[in-house]
Amino acid sequence: MISTKTTIATLIASAAILGGCASTSSDPYYGSTGSTYGGYNSTASMGYGTIDSIQVTRGGSSGASGAGAVVGGLVGAAVGSQVGSGSGRTAATVAGAVGGAALGHKVERDRAMDDRDMYQINIRMDNGEYRSVVQDSVYDLRVGNRVRIVDGRAYRY
């Protein structure tokens, strides 16, 4: 029989593991600002240039890793094993594992990027360098348009 202390320790360890999966990046689609993607610098300062290309990316294409389901299943099994005795305990353990896995998967999936389209706009700046801006809409932007970059977004001018 698993003690209450063991159950609490398991829950705390599970929370720590799931907390480690959280992202602290301010750029949820392409990593930290200042990175280079295919020769394009993603720094988001103000500047003027011409759109070289626009690429559509699917936000949720990376999907869930499955870690949420595994941890949820383990926690659910641990909690379920505290209920009943004999075959009832076995059934509660299995039900807890299945329910915990489903809940863990849902939490992980919800924390993952959603399925909206994102647009990577590659811009040749007036000073000769290249920048890449990622945003959720291109409005009326087309390849060849002159744009202004302000606060990490491209605007036609």
pLDDT per residue as tens digits for the range 42-67: 454 678 999 999 998 776 545 567 78
Residue 4 lies in a domain: no
If DSSP codes are grouped into helix, strand and coil, which group holds residue 49? strand
| Domain membership flag for residue 137 | yes
Residues 102-129: tens digit of each pLDDT: 888 877 777 665 567 889 999 999 999 9
User: What is the pLDDT of the chain when averaged over all its residues?
Assistant: 75
Q: Is residue 102 part of a domain?
A: no
The 3-state DSSP class for residue 141 equals coil
Per the domain annotation, does 143 fall within a domain?
yes
Range of the domain at 56: 45-60+114-156
- Position 19 in a domain: no
Q: How many domains, in total, are found in the chain?
A: 1
CATH number of the domain that 142 lies in? 2.40.50
For the whole model, what pTM was predicted? 0.43
Band (157; pLDDT cuts 50, 70, 90): confident
Please report, in angstroms and rounded to a whole number, the separation of the first and last CA atoms in the chain: 70
Short-list 4, 39, 38, 18, CA closest to 109:
18
Whether residue 144 is contained in a domain is answered as yes
* pLDDT number for residue 20: 57
Q: List the Cα angle 126/133/107 in 5-degree steps.
A: 170
pLDDT at 17 over 80: no
Residue 147 lies in a domain: yes
